[in-house]
Amino acid sequence: MLEYALLAGFLFGLYFSLVGLGLNLMFGVMRIVNLAHGDFLMLGGFTAYWLFTLFHINPVVSVLIAFVGFTVIGAPMYYLGAWRLATTKDPEMLSLILFFGLSQVIEAAATVAFGASQYSIPGVVLGAEPWHVFGQTFPASWMISGIASLVFIALLYVYLYRTRLGYLTRAVMASRDEALSTGINVHFVSSIAFGLSLGLAAVAGVFAPFMLGSILPSMGASLNITAFAVIVVGALGEPLGTVLGGIIYGIGLMLMQTYFSSWANLLPYLLLILILLVKPTGLLGKKVRRA
């Protein structure tokens, strides 16, 4: 029982890290709080759903389509308006309200297009045989989702720490003004980060039908709180912190569901408030946050 909760918590933790990863990247680079993150995630989920029902494309393939598609569409979106925010005096608060408006627009459009009902993809498309790990049995869809999350975490890590563009991205994270004065093309770096952030949200969305049970147009709002809790537990702008936050969250959630199931829904909210009040810089925090 305990081993099962811990291992399942670890799997879900990897997945929740993926959910928070894009939000964290965008915040780190642009100080933008993307309240529409959960809604982009939802759109990613619907992309996978329609690719599967219309063309019988396996979600594992959809991951690549969704990631590339959302990144390519997302990067130019930065130039539409986000750059203005990043250069204003209080980008955090303005972006909060702006992206809140965007999330309402996306949710409304999705409700008009898909209706208010729930959609799901049968878990067996990721493998019918359950996997046996450390003496416990998990559905294949959970394992695949966990592994895919790990792959994307690793890819982001390689991007940030092993490529030239990644170095520049981290320079902008550290100080936007200094990066600008050393001749870095801040807008280009930011737009790539913006695109990648949406791409990561879409990837998390592709696995949402398996990890969260189903997808529906109004799922974005509560996912935002979860994603925010995850990135706040770790540290803002630090991918490793998000992984730590995700795993703490996942294991906490599974333990709550196993032992106090009716209280489990309280977890993300309490965790978020506690961390913000007790250790506002996050567990791995550098001093990047004004809270």
Partner 1 sequence: MLLIVAPVTLAFALLPFIYNNQLLLFNFVVFLTLAQGINVIYGFTGYLPFGYVGFFGAGAYGFSLMVIHLHARPLTALLVAALAALALAVILTPLLRLEGPYFAIASLAASEAVNQLVSNPNLTEITRGPYGISLSGVFAPNFAYGIAIAILAFTLGAVIFLRNSHFGLALQAVRDDAVSAGMAGINVVRERVLAWLLSALIAGLIGGVDAWYISVFYPETVFDPGVSIFAIVFALFGGTATVVGPILGVAILYGIYNTIGITTPQYFQFIYGTLIMGLVMFLPNGMVSLFRRWGLNVP
Contact residues for partner 1, defined by CB under 8 A: 33, 81, 84, 90, 92-98, 100-109, 111-112, 221-222, 225, 228-229, 232, 262-263, 265-266, 268-270, 272-273, 276-277, 280, 289-291
Long-range contacts of 119-125 (CB under 8 A, 24+ apart): 119/45, 119/46, 119/49, 119/209, 119/214, 119/215, 119/216, 120/209, 120/213, 120/214, 120/215, 121/48, 121/49, 121/52, 121/59, 121/209, 121/210, 123/210, 125/52, 125/58, 125/59
Q: Which is nearer to partner 1, 137 or 261 (CB)?
A: 261
Which residue, 54 or 80, is less far from partner 1 as judged by CB? Answer: 80
Q: Which residues contact 17 (CB under 8 A, 6 or more apart)?
A: 149, 153, 230, 242, 243, 245, 246, 247
Residue by residue, DSSP assigns 58-118 as -HHHHHHHHHHHHHHHHHHHIIIIIHHHHTSS-HHHHHHHHHHHHHHHHHHHHHHHH-SS-
Nearest CB to partner 1, comparing residues 222 and 258: 222
Q: Is 242 exposed, middle or buried (0-12, 13-18, 19+ CB in 10 A)?
A: buried
Burial 207-220 (b: 16+ CB within 10 A, else e): bbbbbbeebbbebb
Nearest distance from C-beta of residue 46 to partner 1, angstroms: 15
Q: How far is the CB of 224 from partner 1 (least distance, A)?
A: 8
Considering the complex, what minimum distance in angstroms separates the CB of residue 29 from partner 1?
Answer: 16
Q: Which is nearer to partner 1, 23 or 206 (CB)?
A: 23
Shortest Cβ 116–partner 1 spacing (Å) = 9
Q: How far is the CB of 141 from partner 1 (least distance, A)?
A: 27
Smallest distance from the beta carbon of 198 to partner 1, in angstroms?
17
Nearest residue (CB) to partner 1, 155 versus 291: 291
Nearer to partner 1, 66 or 275 (CB): 275
Return the number of the residue (31 or 176) whose C-beta is nearest partner 1.
Answer: 31
* Least spacing, CB of residue 98 vs partner 1, in Å: 4
